[in-house]
């Protein structure tokens, strides 16, 4: 094209643009101005927001006397009424104490977006939304509201799209966990939402986004409610909603489904095959549930499917089909499943594949080279110990890769220098493998890297931290848990121009000095410098520079000083871990607290500054166990309405404010173990009690247990051991429906065990798994029927979570829970269980004054791990039925008055590693078995009538022949029964022969 033609084309284009602008202006002038009542409502809404730079920008055009239809974010209808139909305030960063009701005066709204602003965790107005009857699109995502979704939203029958979700992304995805990050307001959101009621009238809904909206009725009903109420649904996005149950078959009757996102829930059962027949389905996202069974391979053949993600459903299995060249697959994630067999070479037909995640546990030891032909691949994630050898050479052919991850695998050896050829890599993550050698310098050729994660390998050498500043976009660096030694490197003016790192993890990196290389890293959100050898004071510049920290872990070092005033200038910190150091002085407190978790345990802190306690107003958790804190527990803790976990155990505290128990409706875990607390426990506990675990053990409490504890319906653990508390056995605890651990040992309880009245059902502790009554003054017989009612000791459900912990508590950075603890005597030792497994089942009634026989019904407690009845006055024989306790690991019946022989079948308890029958009146031969021969003499001493190994006392001929005859008889019976049944005769015939055999033995 000539210069003249180009110039002419330019003028023609410019004239056309000018004409279009004039036309647009003319049309705008022809539209009627907005109605005055609409402008008034908008201006009132504007005034409800805090005046700051964000609101000044957002509302610059919102001026009285001007046409509100031309204000930023406002649109009016074209019908001449001048009424507002669209209001978009999304993502403006506005701040307000709550949503002003003025918005409900805009009754012609069809589109409303309030997400991405700060409403200070207030609740949405309970009424008002029902007035917006014409609303078709409602977005409050990400939300900064909390509490319930107003019922009025469920009455908006014209809604086509509803978005109440919290946006999130996954980082550091491992086989057994994933760190979930939410860009803003992660701890706010809607909870206990009645899903069935919410969607009941939303018959026109096409798109539903409820990520992180917790359902109060998330069982099987959610699925059928969706089918019955929203027949036109196309996009179904319910991640992190606490929904459970199987995926209902009726979901197939929703023919327009194009997106199904149900990741990170508690769904179980099989993945239905009907997903193969939903003709519009493009995205199937079911990762991190509890789904199981065979994955229907036919689903892969659904031509519309672009995304299949079933990763981290550990019981899903299947195999790859042959992939058609016509497949539309773009994302395929199978990590954390039991897929097996060969990866077909036809996988190279997936030319449009962008993301691939594989679990190599059940695949061949090498990945096929055909994967190297997937030139469009942007993301490759491979996990599993089945993958061995060195990094595949064909990896470097995948030049489009932006993310590469090998995790929990058997790959070893040095990283090849050719890794530097992947110039488009933004994330390189190699964790929990066996890579070794030095980190190759060619990594610094990857100038697009945002994230470099190399934790839990065997890399060696000395690494200069400032050398990574050569990666200009680096945002996430993780070198933790290798054999590296990290030093500062050259620190000069170039550090000022270093990349702005947001997440830094250098745990177990042999760091001896606080890194000065971080002095100018003022955008750090996550810092993990745990398990190093840093000492002295934390530099003051660290606190002044890192004011926007989310997460700080300096645990397991040798710090002695905070290096700052107790009031820390942390504005956004959600997690601070200073545990296992040598800090002294008052406990530090962040200046701002919003859903924060603080761990100061195992230090030398000596006090809690009373004047700083009010700064804990937004704290979730405070752990300060094993310090030197003395004096009173501040009563101001009672005013911290957000507090869920308070652990002040192993200190020198002298008194507890009664309000801490009586008026707290939020604390779930209160651990005051091993202090010097005295007096009586508070008795007036309110009905809104939230306690899940109470540990007052090893103190000086007196009086009786407060019966008002029955208000704590969520109580799982109660430990008051080693105090001076008295009274009869607390049968009233049968009113605590979740109680699993009851420790009353070493107190002054007295009387009989079980109910004192004629009723049998007023003392049923059906959910108990640990019962420790040792060293009290209990007396009487052990009630036979009472033990039969300990139902939880009879079985452990395969679907149960096996660790006792508090209810879910989402931290900003991690999903953090508090593991329940208790101290009991087990296998002769006082053991503190820092993680109570539900498979650990214990009864300890030792050192009391019980008499009578051992109840045979104890044998029905089939999952019992430990049984201790020592130091009582029990009489009679050891019940043969105890031999049916196949999970028994510890049995102590010592120091009683038991008589008779040791049941022969006790020798068949293979898990029984600790047995003490000493100091009784037992007699006869100790059962002969290889297992019993491993037990020490002390298991049987001080029983005058016992003989045989492992005791040195030999049995007399008579007792020997009797015992051998008895043993021979049993063996003969077993052999004959086995013989006849094995030859095909009926059991009845075998028994008949045995009966006729017995007299012959004695002759």
Structure confidence at residue 591 (pLDDT):
84
In this chain, the answer to whether the domains covering 33-120 and 711-953 adopt an identical fold is yes
Which one, of 14, 605, 71, lies nearest residue 622 by Cα? 605
Question: Exposed, middle or buried: residue 279 (CB in 10 Å: 0-12, 13-18, 19+)?
Answer: exposed
Which one, of 696, 747, 751, lies nearest residue 725 by Cα? 747
Q: How far is it, in rounded angstroms, from Cα 884 to Cα 20?
A: 90
Which is higher by pLDDT, 368 or 28?
368
Domain 711-953 falls in which CATH fold? 3.80.10
Which one, of 117, 83, 89, lies nearest residue 188 by Cα? 117
Q: How far is it, in rounded angstroms, from Cα 309 to Cα 245?
A: 19
Q: Region 19-43: what's the mean pLDDT? A: 70
Confidence bin at 998 (pLDDT 50/70/90) = very low
E strands, 375-422, are 379-383, 388-389, 403-407, 410-413
Q: What are the residues facing 203 on neighbouring strands?
A: none
Is the pLDDT at 857 greater than 70? The verdict is: yes
Superfamily of domain 33-120: Ribonuclease Inhibitor (3.80.10.10)
Residue pLDDT, tens place only, 786-830: 888 888 888 765 444 444 455 444 333 344 556 666 777 766 666
Tell me the three state secondary structure of residue 611. helix
Confidence bin at 451 (pLDDT 50/70/90) = very high
Q: Average pLDDT, whole number, for the chain?
A: 84
Structure confidence at residue 109 (pLDDT):
96
Cα–Cα distances (Å) from 630 to 100, 269, 579, 588, 614, in that order, read 48, 53, 18, 16, 19
Is the pLDDT at 912 greater than 70? The verdict is: yes
Q: How far is it, in rounded angstroms, from Cα 532 to Cα 509?
A: 6
Q: How far is it, in rounded angstroms, from Cα 555 to Cα 559?
A: 9
Tell me the three state secondary structure of residue 591. coil
Is the pLDDT at 833 greater than 90? The verdict is: no
**Omega prior to 183 cis, within 30 of 0:** no
Structure confidence at residue 835 (pLDDT):
55
Taking each continuous run of H as one helix and of E as one strand, the counts in the chain are 11, 67
Residue pLDDT, tens place only, 767-789: 899 999 999 999 999 998 888 88
Cα–Cα distances (Å) from 418 to 392, 399, 442, 464, in that order, read 11, 11, 7, 22
Neighbours of 110 (CB within 10 A): 18
Most confident of 361-370, 527-536, 790-799: 527-536
Residue pLDDT, tens place only, 717-762: 999 999 999 999 999 999 999 999 999 999 999 999 877 644 445 7
Which one, of 888, 846, 837, lies nearest residue 863 by Cα? 888
Question: Exposed, middle or buried: residue 303 (CB in 10 Å: 0-12, 13-18, 19+)?
Answer: exposed
Q: Are 262 and 208 in contact (CB under 8 A)?
A: no
What is the Cα Rg of the chain in Å?
Answer: 35
Q: How would you write 906-954 as a 3-class SS string?
A: HHHCCCCCEEECCCCEEEEECCCCHHHHCCCHHHCCCCCEEECCCCCCC
Is the pLDDT at 989 greater than 70? The verdict is: no
Cα–Cα distances (Å) from 544 to 523, 540, 562, in that order, read 12, 7, 12
Backbone angles phi, psi at 243, to 5 degrees: -85, 150
Confidence bin at 81 (pLDDT 50/70/90) = confident
The domains of the chain are located at 33-120, 711-953
Q: Are 846 and 868 in contact (CB under 8 A)?
A: yes
Q: What are the residues facing 95 on neighbouring strands?
A: 118
Q: How far is it, in rounded angstroms, from Cα 524 to Cα 475?
A: 9
Q: How far is it, in rounded angstroms, from Cα 119 to Cα 93?
A: 10
Confidence bin at 218 (pLDDT 50/70/90) = low
Which one, of 138, 159, 132, lies nearest residue 233 by Cα? 159
Count of residues in the chain: 1003
Residue pLDDT, tens place only, 95-141: 999 999 999 999 999 999 999 898 988 899 999 999 999 999 999 98
With tokens 């194009």, the residue in question is 258
Which is higher by pLDDT, 600 or 785?
600
Q: Are 292 and 798 in contact (CB under 8 A)?
A: no
Please give the model's pTM, rounded to 2 decimal places. 0.79
Q: How far is it, in rounded angstroms, from Cα 744 to Cα 832?
A: 15
Q: How far is it, in rounded angstroms, from Cα 3 to Cα 386?
A: 65
Is the pLDDT at 979 greater than 60? The verdict is: no
Alpha helices in 412-503 (DSSP H): none
């Amino acid at each position: 094209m000539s210069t003249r033609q180009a110039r002419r084309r330019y003028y023609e284009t410019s004239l056309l643009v000018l004409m279009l602008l004039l036309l647009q202006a003319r049309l705008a002038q022809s539209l009627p101005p907005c109605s005055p009542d609409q402008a008034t409502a908008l201006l009132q809404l504007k005034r409800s927001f805090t005046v700051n730079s964000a609101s000044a920008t957002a509302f610059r055009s919102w001026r009285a006397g001007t046409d509100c239809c031309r204000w930023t974010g406002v649109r009016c209808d074209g019908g001449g009424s001048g009424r507002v139909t669209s209001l978009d305030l999304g993502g403006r960063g506005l701040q307000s104490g709550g949503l002003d009701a003025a918005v409900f005066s805009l009754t012609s709204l069809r589109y409303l977006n309030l997400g991405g602003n700060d409403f200070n965790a207030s609740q949405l107005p309970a009424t008002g939304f029902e007035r917006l009857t014409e609303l078709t699109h409602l977005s409050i995502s990400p939300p900064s509201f909390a509490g319930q979704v107003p019922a009025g939203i469920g009455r908006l029958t014209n809604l086509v799209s509803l978005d109440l979700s919290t946006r999130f992304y996954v980082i550091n995805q491992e086989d057994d966990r994933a760190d979930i990050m939410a860009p803003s307001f992660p701890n706010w959101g809607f909870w206990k939402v009645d899903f069935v009621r919410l969607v009941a009238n939303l018959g026109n809904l096409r798109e539903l986004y409820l990520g992180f909206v917790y359902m109060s009725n998330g069982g099987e009903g959610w699925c059928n409610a969706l089918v019955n109420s929203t027949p036109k649904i196309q996009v179904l996005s319910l991640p992190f909603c606490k929904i459970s149950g199987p995926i209902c078959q009726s979901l197939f009757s929703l023919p327009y489904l194009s997106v199904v996102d149900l990741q990170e829930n508690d769904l179980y059962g099989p993945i239905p095959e009907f997903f193969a027949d939903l003709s519009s389905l493009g995205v199937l996202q079911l990762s991190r549930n509890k789904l199981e069974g065979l994955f229907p391979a036919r689903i892969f053949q659904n031509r519309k499917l672009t995304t299949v993600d079933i990763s981290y459903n550990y019981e899903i299995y299947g195999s790859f089909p042959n992939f058609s060249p016509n497949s539309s697959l773009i994302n395929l994630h199978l990590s954390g499943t039991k897929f097996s067999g060969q990866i077909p070479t036809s996988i190279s037909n997936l030319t449009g594949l962008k993301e691939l995640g594989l679990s190599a546990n059940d695949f061949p030891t090498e990945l096929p080279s055909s994967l190297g032909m997937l030139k469009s691949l942007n993301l490759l994630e491979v996990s599993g110990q089945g993958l061995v050898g060195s990094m595949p050479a064909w990896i470097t052919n995948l030049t489009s890769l932006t993310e590469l991850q090998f995790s929990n695998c058997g790959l070893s050896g040095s990283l090849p220098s050719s890794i530097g050829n992947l110039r488009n890599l933004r994330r390189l993550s190699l964790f929990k493998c066996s890579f070794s050698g030095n980190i190759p310098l060619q990594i610094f050729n990857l100038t697009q890297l945002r994230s470099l994660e190399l934790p839990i390998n065997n890399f060696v050498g000395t690494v200069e931290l400032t050398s990574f500043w050569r990666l200009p976009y680096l945002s996430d660096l993780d070198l933790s848990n290798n054999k590296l030694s990290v030093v500062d490197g050259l620190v000069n003016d170039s550090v000022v121009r270093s990349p702005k790192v947001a997440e830094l993890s250098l745990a177990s990196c042999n760091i001896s000095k606080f890194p000065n290389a971080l002095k100018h890293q003022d955008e750090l959100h996550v810092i993990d410098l745990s398990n190093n050898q840093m000492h002295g004071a934390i530099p003051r510049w660290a606190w002044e520079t890192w004011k926007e920290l989310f997460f700080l872990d300096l645990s397991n070092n040798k710090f002695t000083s905070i290096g700052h005033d107790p009031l820390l200038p942390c504005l956004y910190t959600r997690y601070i871990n200073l545990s296992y150091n040598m800090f002294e002085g008052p406990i530090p407190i962040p200046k701002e607290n919003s859903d924060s978790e603080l761990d100061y345990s195992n230090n030398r802190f000596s006090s809690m500054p009373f004047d700083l306690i009010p700064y804990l107003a937004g704290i979730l958790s405070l752990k300060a166990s094993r310090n030197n804190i003395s004096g009173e527990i501040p009563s101001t803790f009672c005013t911290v309405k957000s507090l869920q976990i308070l652990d002040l155990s192993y200190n020198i505290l002298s008194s507890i404010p009664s309000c801490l128990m009586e008026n707290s409706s939020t604390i779930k875990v209160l651990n005051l173990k091993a202090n010097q607390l005295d007096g009586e426990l508070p008795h007036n506990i309110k009905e809104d009690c939230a306690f899940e675990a109470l540990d007052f053990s090893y103190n000086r409490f007196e009086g009786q247990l407060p019966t008002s504890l029955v208000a704590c319906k969520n109580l799982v653990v109660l430990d008051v051991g080693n105090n001076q508390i008295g009274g009869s056995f607390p049968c009233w605890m049968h009113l605590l429906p979740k109680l699993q651990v009851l420790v009353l040992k070493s107190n002054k309880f007295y009387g009989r065990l079980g109910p004192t009245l004629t009723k049998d059902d007023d003392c049923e502790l059906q959910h108990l798994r640990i019962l420790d009554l040792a060293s009290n003054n209990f007396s009487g017989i052990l009630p036979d029927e009472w033990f039969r009612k300990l139902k939880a000791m009879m079985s452990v459900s395969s679907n149960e979570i096996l660790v006792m912990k508090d209810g879910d508590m989402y931290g900003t950075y991690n999903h953090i829970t508090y593991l329940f603890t208790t101290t009991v005597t087990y296998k002769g030792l006082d053991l503190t269980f820092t993680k109570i497994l539900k498979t650990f089942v214990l009864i300890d009634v030792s050192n009391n004054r019980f008499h009578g026989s051992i109840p045979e019904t104890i044998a029905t407690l089939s999952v019992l791990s430990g049984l201790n009845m020592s130091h009582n006055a029990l009489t009679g024989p050891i019940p043969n039925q105890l031999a049916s306790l196949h999970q028994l690991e510890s049995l102590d019946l010592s120091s009683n008055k038991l008589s008779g022989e040791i049941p022969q079948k006790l020798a068949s308890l293979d898990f029984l590693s600790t047995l003490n029958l000493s100091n009784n009146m037992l007699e006869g031969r100790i059962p002969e078995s290889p297992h019993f021969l491993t037990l020490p003499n002390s298991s049987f001493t001080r029983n005058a009538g016992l003989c045989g190994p492992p005791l040195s006392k030999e049995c007399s001929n008579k007792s020997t022949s009797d015992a051998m005859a008895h043993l021979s008889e049993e063996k003969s019976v077993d052999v004959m029964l086995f013989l006849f049944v094995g030859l095909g005769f009926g059991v009845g015939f075998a028994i008949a022969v045995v009966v006729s055999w017995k007299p012959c033995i004695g002759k």
